[in-house]
Structure formats: C-alpha cells, structure tokens
Amino acid sequence: MDEFTFIDQIKQSLYKQPALVKGIGDDAAVFRQSAQDIVTAADTLVEDVHFSRALMDALYIGYRALAANISDIAAMGAAPAFYLVSIVIPDSCSDEELNDIYKGMSYAASDHRMDLIGGDTVSGNELSIAITVIGFVNRKQARLRSAAEPGDVLFVTGTLGDAAAGFHILNSNKFYKDSSYYMDRHRMPQIRSAFAKQLEPLTRVALNDISDGLANEANEIAEASHVSLTIYENQLPVRDSFEQFSEEEQHKWKLYGGEDFELLGAVPESEWEQLKSIAARNSTPLTAIGYANNRENKDHHVWLVDDSHTPKRLMKKGYTHRSR
Amino acid sequence: MDEFTFIDQIKQSLYKQPALVKGIGDDAAVFRQSAQDIVTAADTLVEDVHFSRALMDALYIGYRALAANISDIAAMGAAPAFYLVSIVIPDSCSDEELNDIYKGMSYAASDHRMDLIGGDTVSGNELSIAITVIGFVNRKQARLRSAAEPGDVLFVTGTLGDAAAGFHILNSNKFYKDSSYYMDRHRMPQIRSAFAKQLEPLTRVALNDISDGLANEANEIAEASHVSLTIYENQLPVRDSFEQFSEEEQHKWKLYGGEDFELLGAVPESEWEQLKSIAARNSTPLTAIGYANNRENKDHHVWLVDDSHTPKRLMKKGYTHRSR
C-alpha cells in the first residue's frame, strides 16, 4: 500500500466538527474558532514500552492511544475536536494491523465527535504512534492544575487502580474475578470528557487526569497551586472485586497505577454539592478523597493518611515508563 | 536526566506569541485566536530514514525537523506560531545530543517567533521526532493547492535541486564547488514563510511547498485543481554551479529532489506583475516555469517540455522515502 492509497483510506468522507474549514488533503488543515479558547496536547506511544502487539489487538492499541490524548483535553475542561496522527511503521506491521490501529482511533474519536485532520506515515524499525489533539473550551475556563486553594475538597472520578490491574491480568494466565472489566479498563479506557465539559458552571476547579498515577497527579496539583494536600487512603474508591488482589498490589495500583484516565480535581467546599449533582446527572462516580490544607501548612507536599492516622508524605514516583 | 528536569530545560522562559494563554506545564496548552483561521500540520523524521546522526550534527537535525514543518504552514500562506514535539529517545542518544536537537529547533523557531507549547518525550529503540505546527492565516485566505485555474502562471521560488545535491555531497568524499552552500541547503533550509505571508493582497494563489520534489508537488496541484500543467524544463531555476553535476543528477534532483522547501504556485496572469514586486521586496528569487493549460486539455496531468519541444508526461515519483 503506498502513502496516497493509505491516506485515501483513512480520510474521513464526512467531517463532524463545524469549526473545520479544510481537512486532510493539503499542506495543512484549517479550522476557525473565534468564540472559544483552543487547547492542544501531544502524546506518544511506543511498542514494547507503552503497549505490546503480543498482548493487545491493534484495534485496542489505536483506541487507547487516542483515548490517552483525549484525556489531556478533558483534564482542561475542554471538548476534544481534532486529532493528527504521526505513525512510524515497521515492516513487521501488516496493512491489516495498520488499518486496525486507525480503526481503533476512529472508534475513540467517534465517541467524542472528533475529526482526523492530519498527520504523517513513515517507515522505521519500531512502531510508534504520536498524536496531537486539539479541543475547545469557553474563554478563560481552561481548568488548570494551578487553581487549587486551601480548604478545597479533593475529588476523583470512577475507581482507581483498575487499568494497572487489567494490565496485570493481561500479562498473567491466572484466574481473576471480573477480569474482562479490568482488561477493558486498560484496553478501552472511557474518558470523562462529557463530565469535564459540564464543570463549566463551577467558578473554580483544579483538574488533572490520572495518567501517571494518583501520587504523581496530586503532587502536580500541589506544586502548581502552592498548596499541600491531604488524602485519606481508606476513602480512595476501588471496585468491589479489587480486594482479590494482594494488599501490596492494591496499594501500589491505586496510588501509582497509571492510565486509569480518571480525573483528580479540587473545588471550593461551597461548590461541592453542585459538583455532586453534575456527577449524578452524568452517571459519573465521584468521591471526596481529601482536601487542600490551610495556608499554615507551608510545604507543597501531598500527605497520605492511612489507618494509623499518621500522615505520611506521598511522593511522586511509580509510573515512570513514559520518561527516560 | 529525568523527564521533569528535561521539561524544565526546554521550557521557554518567555513566550513570544500574544495568542498564547498557557504554555508548557499543564495537561495541554491554551491559546486564543478570534480574528484569523488556524492551520495545523504534522510531520515526522526517523533516524536513518530521514536523517543520519553520523552525517549530521544534532543541531542540524533539530533545525531541519522543525523547518520541514514550518514549510507546510508557509505553503498555506500562513504564519507559523506554535509547535509541539514528541520525541522517541534511544539509549544511544546522549543528553547533549538531545539538548542540541531541541536547540536546533529553537533556532528555527526563533527565525519565525514561534513558541514550543507541548509534546512528549518517551524512550524507545529508534530516534524519531514527530512535530505538530500551528499557524495563523487571514480568514478564507489559506492558500490551497486546489486554487489553480486555466491560464495561470506557474512559478517557483529560489533554485531547485540544491538540497538533493547537498545530501549527495554530505555522502561523498569528492571535491565539489560551492559545497557548503549545497550542504546548508540540506541541513538548514530557509523557509519562504515571510514571502508566503505577503501574498495576502493577491486574489488567488495555489500553493505547495516542494518537500517531495517538483514532479510530485506539481501533480498534486494539477489533481486538486483539476487542471493540466505545462512546465518548461529549461526554465527551471538552478544555481550556476549546479552544472558541475552530471546531466542525469541535475535532471533527477531538480525534478524529483525533495526537501528544497521552495514554493511552487500558480497565480492569475493578471497578478503576475504584482507577485514579482512582492518577491522583489522580499529578496525572494521568483521564476515563471510554465502555466496551467486551457480547459480544452481535459486531463489533470503535468507535461514537461524539454529542448526537443515535445511535451512528455511528468509523473509523480522519485522521493518516496517518506511513505511505506
């Protein structure tokens, strides 16, 4: 398959985003957005670092690659609109696998009415998928991680550690309860995009997506907002069947397990009830897991309170396969 | 060097683009653009496919990678504004080389007052650099390759085949006249961004950048515009010292040599004089190389007229290392 045939194949016959002026087929795509702010992020997945063709069907690989990128847009409180895909294709990758990767991305895209508007396909020795996503958010309403303030309620959506458990199960031949649930949480993460977009009425929300584990994301909010945070370990939401895993696994996965793509945020206590109604309307599980401490606590650390009631410092660590 | 240290190192202390709301440091970057249309394109370079560390310093690799992307924005008549870089880094790549790649990109960026606003760094076995660029263009003035019409003057900027000659020289140990000129045309291509932006007063221009060779780009304009084109081979602009290369090399490089990043365009004959003054004001060499044929000629082919005065069909071919 040559490049031109391939581009014809992945080119959408119909674009969904009204902001689009010109899609694939020129030197660049063109869009127009005068009312809203524009957000953009890029994320790359490399074979045998972030995924394995032996463990996961190409459809899942594509789905998950785009979902990870959509999550960054959701974490800004924005609606995803466009994506560009640059893919390095080794000889070992068949045309069918390649098509399935793009098909997987298109499934994730259509969940969010996104359009594929550009990219590049090049040959190489190692399969890697570099995606750039573009989204829109009301002016001045991008939800920054620097927005937390003392006294805020700290919350997470969904349950934690599921994707790490799913990855563990995919790599194992043991029997686990609820295994397809956990595997799907790893392979086809559902992004909290609709929920994030509906936070617009709130006056202030600090928001991060949990791509690198709760510990890392909480520390990023603490540092960017210049606040310290307290998290109660026994309030961390997990799926009922999560108790089948060892204590050590549970602890590790819910605090450091990456790629759950749930949202971690902080809102003023006065808006907590409003947040709960938004979550209920969206059928989004929402749990208060702690708070931002008063100004007297001058460090910008994250403190974890376990059953011994002694706060221990929760450090950035764990899921570092994405850095060098 | 961990990811956080590295991001701190490449993060600009000062952003130049007034449209930027939030640069690197959150889940996504944010910008605002209500007056102009937004253009975006993505391009990837892979080691030993598009560049070689053995032949080229890391500074050049970075410079050229971003320049190739800026060229796509220029080819839309737009001004580049932002870029995102996703890089896959093998163990063989030292911190110094990595820094030099980013430094090379920052040199190309500062020529155009661009800001680095996002990206990703991941480890892998093969060095690859995936860049997304974002630029701005006046509403409805994106210069599409589909805009050519019968009777238009076909033009190119600069001289052709230089980058291919430079690549040949870099791979050779023979003596060549003017060798540093040719090598620099390959390693540090100057993008016709300012010239492209100043085409705004023209009512209509079809535009492509010559990244894949004149033959490919001309065919893209012919197909997208539904016109046939005639090109006179003896009018193709080349550097004086280009005659030192064999007839075969000259022919191949000027017609199929990629990555000159000059512009190929078509304008109404009535605006040719105005185009010439714009080029003169910008010190941009400009040459008429042919025209778009009348509607009677119903094919959408490109015809090359050589000294025998017999038109031969100029096919898409040549520079295909970018596709599979």
Q: What is the mean pLDDT of residues B313-324?
A: 61
Amino acid at B183: M
Q: Give B-chain residues touching A30 at CB under 8 angstroms.
A: 37-39, 76, 137, 142
Cβ atoms of A51 and A62 within 8 Å: the answer is: no
For residue A320, pLDDT over 80 is answered with: no
* 3-class DSSP assignment, residue B219: helix
Cβ atoms of A127 and A47 within 8 Å: the answer is: yes
Min Cα separation B265/chain A (Å):
13
Amino acid at B312: K
Asked whether residue B118 falls in the same domain as residue B201, the answer is no
Q: What is the pLDDT of residues B80-99, one digit of tens each?
A: 999 999 999 999 999 999 99
Residue A8 at interface with chain B, using a CB cutoff of 8 Å: no
| H or E segment to which residue A120 belongs | strand A115-123
Q: CA angle B72-B78-B82, nearest 5°? A: 75
Decide which of A96, A117, A137 is a domain's last residue.
A137
The per-residue pLDDT for A269 is 97
Q: Which DSSP symbol is given to B30?
A: E
A21 in a structural domain:
yes
Min Cα separation B75/chain A (Å):
6
Neighbours of B2 (CB within 10 A): 10
Tokens of B52: 């070689």
Residue B320 at interface with chain A, using a CB cutoff of 8 Å: yes
Would you mind telling me the total number of residues written for chain B in this entry? 324
Q: Which of A33, A40, A118 sits opposite B41 (nearest CB)?
A: A118
B300 in a structural domain:
yes
Residue A200 at interface with chain B, using a CB cutoff of 8 Å: no
Asked whether residue B159 falls in the same domain as residue B303, the answer is yes
Asked whether residue A126 falls in the same domain as residue A199, the answer is no
In chain A, whose CA is at the least distance from the CA of B32? Answer: A37
B319 in a structural domain:
no
**ipTM exceeding 0.85, yes/no:** yes
| CATH number where B56 lies | 3.30.1330.10
Cβ of A3 within 8 Å of Cβ of B323? The answer is yes
Q: What is the pLDDT of residues B236-261, one digit of tens each?
A: 999 999 999 999 999 999 999 988 89
Q: Which of B46, B76, B323 sits opposite A26 (nearest CB)?
A: B76
Residue B199 at interface with chain A, using a CB cutoff of 8 Å: no
Residue the block writes with tokens 């031109």? A4
Backbone torsions φ then ψ of A4, nearest 5 degrees:
-65, -45
Q: What is the mean pLDDT of residues A94-103?
A: 95
Res. A319 pLDDT band, cuts 50 70 90: very low
Q: Give A-chain residues touching B128 at CB under 8 angstroms.
A: 88, 122, 124, 126, 128, 130
Asked whether residue A174 falls in the same domain as residue A299, the answer is yes
Residue B5 at interface with chain A, using a CB cutoff of 8 Å: no
Res. B1 pLDDT band, cuts 50 70 90: low
Backbone torsions φ then ψ of A31, nearest 5 degrees:
-140, 170
For residue B319, pLDDT over 50 is answered with: no
Res. A243 pLDDT band, cuts 50 70 90: very high
Interface of B with A in 80-99 (CB under 8 A): 82, 84-89
Decide which of A108, A137, A166 is a domain's last residue.
A137
- CA pseudo-torsion sign B258, B263, B265, B269: negative
Q: Is residue B72 part of an annotated ligand binding site?
A: yes
Q: What is the pLDDT of residues B258-297, one digit of tens each?
A: 888 999 999 999 999 999 999 999 999 999 999 999 777 7
Counting one residue from A and one from B, how many pairs have CB atoms under 8 Å apart? 241
Interface of A with B in 212-231 (CB under 8 A): 224
Residue the block writes with tokens 């003896």? B234
Cβ of B322 within 8 Å of Cβ of A28? The answer is no
Residue A101 at interface with chain B, using a CB cutoff of 8 Å: no
- Residue A3 CA to residue B27 CA, distance in Å, equals 32
Q: Give B-chain residues touching A323 at CB under 8 angstroms.
A: 2-4, 6, 121-123
A32 in a structural domain:
yes
Tell me how far CA of residue A83 lies from CA of A14, B52, B106, B315, in angstroms: 15, 29, 24, 32
Tokens of B33: 């653009």
| CATH number where A165 lies | 3.90.650.10
Cβ atoms of A154 and A289 within 8 Å: the answer is: yes
The per-residue pLDDT for A199 is 95
Res. B162 pLDDT band, cuts 50 70 90: very high
Q: Is residue B259 part of an annotated ligand binding site?
A: yes
Decide which of A100, A116, A137 is a domain's last residue.
A137
Asked whether residue B178 falls in the same domain as residue B87, the answer is no
Optimal mutation site among A71, A132, A319, A320, interface B, most CBs of chain B within 10 A: A132
Q: Give B-chain residues touching A39 at CB under 8 angstroms.
A: 28-30
Asked whether residue B115 falls in the same domain as residue B188, the answer is no
Q: What is the pLDDT of residues A182-230, one digit of tens each?
A: 999 999 999 999 999 999 999 999 999 999 999 999 999 999 999 999 9
* 3-class DSSP assignment, residue B208: strand
For residue B323, pLDDT over 60 is answered with: no
| Positions at the binding site of A for ATP | 102, 119-120, 145, 211
For residue B321, pLDDT over 50 is answered with: no
- Residue A214 CA to residue B248 CA, distance in Å, equals 62
Res. A1 pLDDT band, cuts 50 70 90: low
Res. B324 pLDDT band, cuts 50 70 90: very low
Q: How would DSSP label each residue in A171-212?
A: T--S--TTHHHHHHHHHSPPP-HHHHHTTTTSS--EEEE-SS
Min Cα separation B312/chain A (Å):
23
For helices B214-225 and B247-256, angle between their N-to-C axes, nearest 10 degrees? 40
Tokens of A59: 């459809």
Q: Which of B26, B44, B46 sits opposite A144 (nearest CB)?
A: B26
Asked whether residue A297 falls in the same domain as residue A271, the answer is yes
| H or E segment to which residue B195 belongs | helix B193-197
For residue A308, pLDDT over 50 is answered with: yes
Cβ atoms of A42 and B44 within 8 Å: the answer is: no
Print the domain residue range for A171: 145-313
* 3-class DSSP assignment, residue A323: coil
A324 in a structural domain:
no
